[in-house]
Amino acid sequence: MSKLEKFEVDCLVIGGGVSGIAIARELSSRFKNIFLIERNNQIAQETSSRNSEVIHAGMYYEPGSLKSKLCLKGKELLYDYLAERNIDFNRCGKYILSSNEQETETLNKIYQNGVSCGVDDLIYDNSVRSKYPFLEFKEAIFSPSTGIFDSHSFIHSLGRDFESSGGNIILGNEILKINETSKGFEVLVEDKNTKNQFLATTKILINSAGLNAVHIANLISENKPYKEEFVKGEYYTYRGKERLENLIYPTPTENSLGLHATIDLGKGIRFGPSAYIVDEIDYNLSLAQKSSFLKAVQSYWPGIKEDDLSPGYTGIRPKLKGVSDFVVDSGIIGGNQYVNILGYASPGLTSSLALAIEVSQRVQDINW
């Protein structure tokens, strides 16, 4: 048996989705020897690449929550970064529609909640009725700071920033074991293709593993109480004749923001996501859900027909049972620091640059 290769790093980041890449980029200005490990053969292959690519304004979240704080700060940081790097985006705005009196009450609460969170640009605007006569609704709120963007170019730009600062990205490798020692966390890593293993020792361990984050947190410490579930969402593309210049959202339910209509940068329209709990990671799109999907869309777009919807793609996001907020769990075990980012779903893309700053503020400087 060949000798196990060992090396020491200042900081190790687990997970190459938007959160991990953004955090690694932020920390690369502080630590010279920093590595990011991703289990897939490319970065951003899971939740970060299977979503609506929306820049959220931040009106839905509980005032003072981490989601609210990071979304509002992240939104401005994201727009600035996209403009600076000439990455495509469209500050197109979105309408949130109510379909009955009960939903109008919810819509009013969303407006007030947005104001409480610091979203100061929301307006009641029923001009959408003449703009899109094919929509059916009772009241509408407009959010001008909501937008869409090229999330793939954004994430890869962050990756280039990280590597330009001396950071290292290791793809196609997964974490097998984590032990706490006096020298640091010993992380056993295996190449998924060759099965070669190496041992990395680090004083600072960042767990931003997305769908795998609870498992990694349990490897760091068995005392963590978190339990996860996976929420699957399906998207359909629109093949009809109508066109949109803005995003259209129904009034949200307790479990999701609803089956909304979003546009991409080419003005194509897609609907989704649905939201239901699954036991395993499976990206197949089941047509068994199409009739209920169509019915939900028809609640605000009644003229749409089944033939107008073509199967698109699916995404799966992590969710902590009994927890609605992001969780950034940080601590020290035997002089070694860890940070777990858990339940990091929407508005994760929007919040990513602010999350990176939040994590950096929790990480202390080290002396080997």
C-alpha 201/C-alpha 179 separation (Å) is 9
Q: What is the pLDDT of residue 350?
A: 98
The verdict on 173 and 312 lying in the same domain is no
The verdict on 157 and 262 lying in the same domain is no
pLDDT tens, residue by residue, 330-350: 999 999 999 999 999 999 999
Asked whether residue 368 carries a pLDDT value surpassing 60, the answer given is no
Asked whether residue 3 carries a pLDDT value surpassing 80, the answer given is no
Residue 60 lies in a domain: no
Alpha helices in the chain (DSSP H): 18-27, 66-84, 101-117, 128-131, 151-164, 213-220, 290-298, 348-362
Tokens for 347, please give them.
Answer: 């508005």
Global confidence as pTM? 0.96
Residue 162 lies in a domain: yes
pLDDT confidence tier of residue 2, bands split at 50, 70 and 90: low
How distant, in Å, are the alpha carbons of 115, 186, 233, 355 from that of 282? 38, 31, 11, 28
Q: What is the pLDDT of residue 226?
A: 86
Residue 263 lies in a domain: yes
| Mean pLDDT in residue range 5-20 | 97
C-alpha 2/C-alpha 10 separation (Å) is 26
CATH of the domain at 157: 3.50.50.60
Q: What is the mean pLDDT of the chain?
A: 95
C-alpha 276/C-alpha 274 separation (Å) is 7
Tokens for 4, please give them.
Answer: 């196990």
Angle between helices 348-362 and 151-164 (to 10 degrees): 20
The verdict on 248 and 315 lying in the same domain is yes
Verify cis geometry, omega within 30 degrees of 0, for the bond prior to 273.
yes
The verdict on 103 and 124 lying in the same domain is yes
pLDDT confidence tier of residue 1, bands split at 50, 70 and 90: very low
pLDDT tens, residue by residue, 126-154: 999 999 999 999 999 999 999 999 999 99
- Yes or no: say if 96 and 110 are a contact pair by the CB < 8 Å rule: yes
Q: What is the pLDDT of residue 223?
A: 78
Residue 16 lies in a domain: yes
Task: Write down the residue that tokens 């609506």 correspond to.
Answer: 52
The total domain count for the chain is 2
Q: What are the DSSP calls for 249-266, one per residue? A: EEPP-SS-S-SEEEE-TT
Range of the domain at 344: 5-48+153-226+324-362
Residue 99 lies in a domain: yes
Residue 132 lies in a domain: yes
Residue 72 lies in a domain: no
Residue 54 lies in a domain: no
C-alpha 153/C-alpha 308 separation (Å) is 29
Strand partners, 87: none
Verify cis geometry, omega within 30 degrees of 0, for the bond prior to 302.
no
The verdict on 241 and 126 lying in the same domain is yes
Tokens for 88, please give them.
Answer: 């495509």
CATH of the domain at 251: 3.30.9.10
The verdict on 243 and 133 lying in the same domain is yes
Tokens for 38, please give them.
Answer: 């991703």
Residues in the chain: 368
pLDDT tens, residue by residue, 103-133: 999 999 999 999 999 999 999 999 999 999 9
pLDDT confidence tier of residue 366, bands split at 50, 70 and 90: low
The verdict on 309 and 260 lying in the same domain is yes
The verdict on 314 and 174 lying in the same domain is no
